[in-house]
Every structure is written in structure tokens, then in C-alpha cells.
Structure 1
Amino acid sequence: MTNSRTLPSDPALTPDLGVGSDSRRGAHAALEFHHAWSMALQSGEALDERLPVSVLGEMSKCEFFYDFSSPFSYLGATQVERITAGHELVWKPMLLGALFSSIGSPIVPLATWPETKARHALYDAYRWADHWGVRFQWPKKFPQKTVTSLRAALAVEPARIGAVSLGFFEAMWVHDQDLEDDTVVAAVLRARGLDADAILAETKTAVGKQRLFATTEEAGRRGIPGAPAFIVDEQIFWGQDRLHFVQKALEGWRPKLPIDLATPR
């Protein structure tokens, strides 16, 4: 029997609503996490080595699901274009809190962890930033409501969404700015030659709200457990520390798994 949640038909309602999703898919995603980690250990792949750009295989597609409120989404965003070079990359902003609500996860998981676990997650973020050679600082205001910035990113043409998204990520995770402030959102847009006033106005329309509603609903429907997440050939890879798996998948890698994690149950 499926335990699902139904969304209101009006996407203009509060963005904190959960998206429709079978809650059991969260368990499937967790199995993928443990299986992937086990494979990495067994194969001897080193997580502390920089990943080479993929040059093998035919052009594939990588779908990148993220929220600006996620530090590991920021770290993944700094590398995803390099890892997917030669392949199609689709940027898909989603509302992480709504996704978490739909799968029964705390809205801010970090806030529910024991202090020791939370501290080491923070250490890992700084270690990965140093490893990738990118700037990073934990913002004074955390968490932040990123609804407007996510809608703004989805309002630009697809060819520019990556650059705009990186701008929003850097505003929060490099420059310690508040994405809840529309002047910050506008500054990021203007710095990239965009009409900030028009885009901000669009984020308040039903159409602007529906775009974010749709990507968030898609994430839940396809079984994504959190952010960042990468989908290649219907394989879900959760976490920026799985980018070596993303690279291999783009080259045709598809390991045999005990269950089909890409198929909703």
C-alpha cells in the first residue's frame, strides 16, 4: 500500500508544502547510498583525488538537483560543469525543505543531529572546499529561505541558469549574504546582465511559482533523497562526494544493484 502525500492544486500556495512522493523511496535511496559507498571502498577508488574530465563514451545527460541552502550543493556546483564536460548538463533547482517534508525527513536535518555529528559535517564541508580549491565560509544566517532565488534561477533561459545559480551559491556560501533579501537576489541577477526587476516580479506570479513546484515534485517522484543529487541514465547519485560515480555513469557505468532504485515502488 502506497503512503503518499497530495499537493494542493494551487502552486501559488506556501512554498513549504511537501511534494507528492512515495515515502518508501527514501529507504531505497538510503540503500543506494550504502551500496555506492561499499563499492567505492571495495574498488579502491580514492575520494581524495581530483577527478579527471570525462573524455570517454557517447554524450550522456546529467540532471543536477540542488538548493542554494545546501552547502554540499554549492560544493558540487563548483565541480559539476567540469565533471560533465562533453555531456549534457541540466540544472534543476528544487525546494529542499518541501522535498524533505514529503519523504518524512526533518526540514533542517543538521539541526537534529548530535553535536559531534553536526560538527564533523561542518568540518567535511571545509575539507571539501579546500580539496576542490574553492572559497567557502558558513554564513552567519543559517538556514535561509531560498524560495525567491530558486524561482529566479528557474526564470532565466536554460543556457544561463548555471551561471546564475553559481552566483546565488557564492552569495550565500562565499560572501555571507542573505538570499532572503531581494536586494541580494537582484544584485546577483544584475551582475550577470539580467533584468532583475522583471525576474523578481515573475517569481511572484503563478507561472514563476509553478516552475519551482514542478522541479520539487519531480525530485520527490523520481526518488531523490536530498541535495545535491545527480541523475544519469535514471541512476541517482546523492552527494557531491559521489561525483566520481557521476563521471563513471556518464561513460556508461551501470553496476548491478540488489533492487532497481530508479523504479518508484
Structure 2
Amino acid sequence: MQRIIDYYYTHASPWAYLGHDAFLTLADKREYAVRFRPVSLTTVFAETGGLPLAKRHPVRQAYRLVELQRWRAYRNIPLTLKPAHFPVNPELADRIALAIAVDGGPVAAYSLAVFQALWTDELDIAQENVHRAILDRLGLNADATLAQAGEKPIIERYMANQAEAIETGVFGSPSYVLNGEVFWGQDRLDLLDTALADGRAPFVAP
């Protein structure tokens, strides 16, 4: 089997942010490559029965805020519970990440910078100027990368990610897929680590 973990996530997800560095450190420790697969949760939720945050029961919304505080403290990562620009459309960020990944660029560093822009600096990641600043800091050609992110191959790849995520059984962000087995949520990283260490066959639904 290929030593690859598919990383399905969206840049609007605080959970993807909280688990981002921990996941990448884990994959590196176990000597697995990461395939970055940004997805639109709007599409995934529509096909798998998920609800956007605003449509969830108030009890679920309140518990989410408690869990964010717990994991923020546990991971020791700064995170604003209710940032100024959330909800936000993350499609531009997702497509830029795809464009960077296609060229073998620093997609991990880019995604972390976008997470921090939204969840720490309270910037609007739907705005192009936010990404220009990030790309410049990473030493990337902002004009070329933004243009590529809007081209047909990247848009088609982004759409393909949605279809492949749903077909694989992904229904939320982040999801880590190892040999077809889905590990949903950054709180499943210990289970993913065990699977990587054991090299076992994937668990499947009976």
C-alpha cells in the first residue's frame, strides 16, 4: 500500500486549524506523505446530511464553543471563538491551496497561515488581498498563484475533491483517510497514529 494519507479539510474549519500541525507532525513521524484535499463543506454536507453551524440546535452550538475552548487549551493554540469574519466562504483559500499543491509548493505553511488569518487575526479570508499578503510572505508569486487558482484545471480538481470525499465516506473537516479508512476530526489523531504504527488492515462498516 502507498504510504499516503489523504487530508480532506476546508480553511473555514476551526477543527482543521486545531489539528493541522499535530497531524502533519504525526504523518512526518510515521514517514507518510500527505495529499492535501481541500473540499467544500457546503457540497459535502448537502450529500451526507450535515448541517451548517447556524442551522444546528442551540445546544449543539453551545457545546461546540465549549469543545473549542478545551482543544484550544489542550493544543496551546490561539483561537478566537467568534472571529469577526465567520461564517466565511473559504473557496478562494481552498483553490489557492490546490494550486500551490499542484506545483509542489508550501501548501502546509499556506494553510496554516490562512487558519491563523481567520481564527487568530480575524481577517476576511474571502478577500484576495489577505491571500496576496500570505503568498508574498511565503515567497510565492501572488499574481501567478491567484490566476492559477481561478483556472479550469484547479476548479475541476476542487469539484473532483468533493465527489471523491463523498464517495470515500468523508462528511466533515478535517478528515484523514488512510487506505480508504476515514478518521473524522482532529480528536481522532491518536487512533490514526495507532493505525499507522500497527499497519493493520482498514476497519470497514459491517
Say whether the fold is shared (TM-score over 0.5): yes
2:5 maps to 62
2:98 maps to 154
Once residues 192 and 19 of structure 2 are traced to their aligned partners in structure 1, the CA distance between those partners, rounded to angstroms, is 11
More displaced 10-residue stretch of structure 1: 59-68 or 237-246: 59-68
2:182 maps to 236
Q: Does 1:96 align with 2:41?
A: yes
Q: Does 1:117 align with 2:60?
A: yes
Once residues 205 and 182 of structure 1 are traced to their aligned partners in structure 2, the CA distance between those partners, rounded to angstroms, is 15
1:132 maps to 75
More displaced 10-residue stretch of structure 1: 112-121 or 182-191: 112-121
Contact 2:38 2:97 (C-alpha < 8 Å) held by counterparts: yes
1:141 maps to 85
Once residues 120 and 254 of structure 1 are traced to their aligned partners in structure 2, the CA distance between those partners, rounded to angstroms, is 34
Contact 1:72 1:239 (C-alpha < 8 Å) held by counterparts: yes
Once residues 208 and 257 of structure 1 are traced to their aligned partners in structure 2, the CA distance between those partners, rounded to angstroms, is 31
Which of structures 1 and 2 has the bigger CA Rg?
Answer: 1
Match of 1:197, SS?
Answer: helix
Contact 1:68 1:146 (C-alpha < 8 Å) held by counterparts: yes
1:190 Cα offset (Å): 1.1
* AA at the equivalent of 1:168: V
Q: Tell me which protein shows more helix as a share of its residues.
A: 2
Q: Does 1:202 align with 2:145?
A: no
1:69 Cα offset (Å): 0.9
1:76 maps to 19
Q: Does 1:222 align with 2:168?
A: yes
1:149 Cα offset (Å): 0.9
1:257 Cα offset (Å): 5.0
Once residues 69 and 256 of structure 1 are traced to their aligned partners in structure 2, the CA distance between those partners, rounded to angstroms, is 29
Once residues 102 and 114 of structure 1 are traced to their aligned partners in structure 2, the CA distance between those partners, rounded to angstroms, is 20
Q: Does 1:247 align with 2:186?
A: no
1:142 Cα offset (Å): 1.4
1:253 Cα offset (Å): 3.7
* AA at the equivalent of 1:250: L
CA spacing shift, 1:257–1:220, aligned 2, 3 Å: closer
TM-score normalized by structure 1?
0.71
Q: Percent identity?
A: 28
1:159 Cα offset (Å): 4.5
Q: How does 1:171-190 map to 2 (within 5 A)?
A: 171-190=117-136
Contact 2:9 2:175 (C-alpha < 8 Å) held by counterparts: yes
CA spacing shift, 1:181–1:256, aligned 2, 3 Å: closer
Once residues 144 and 205 of structure 2 are traced to their aligned partners in structure 1, the CA distance between those partners, rounded to angstroms, is 49
Counting matched residue pairs gives: 200
Match of 2:12, SS?
Answer: coil
TM-score normalized by structure 2?
0.90
1:258 Cα offset (Å): 5.1
1:234 Cα offset (Å): 1.3
CA spacing shift, 1:152–1:257, aligned 2, 3 Å: closer
Match of 2:146, SS?
Answer: helix
CA spacing shift, 1:90–1:255, aligned 2, 3 Å: closer
